[in-house]
Structure 1
């Protein structure tokens, strides 16, 4: 499953994951403080934001 993400900046990568009921947009304020010195990767987790949705929930899926 291909997840929706936002990639910005250059340098060592930092991955930002939102909490329950969230989306990558919730992380904009936090990521903007790091984008000048790092590559920031904000991710919409499965069944959140613009990432694919599925009724199947398991570790295998």
Structure 2
């Protein structure tokens, strides 16, 4: 599942807050975006199928 839309919304909100002189809100939104990116990365890594025989490189010579 793609979570890109959440990152986009947080980025848009942060830009709006910045354009309207709300630096504390910008900081909070940027922290939320960083946390969302980290959570999404962890979730994506957990959902990725593991290679059945180690890595996917064919090491036969």
**TM-score normalised to structure 2 length:** 0.31
For the pair shown, the structure with the greater C-alpha radius of gyration is: 2
Name the structure with the higher strand share. Answer: 1
**TM-score normalised to structure 1 length:** 0.31
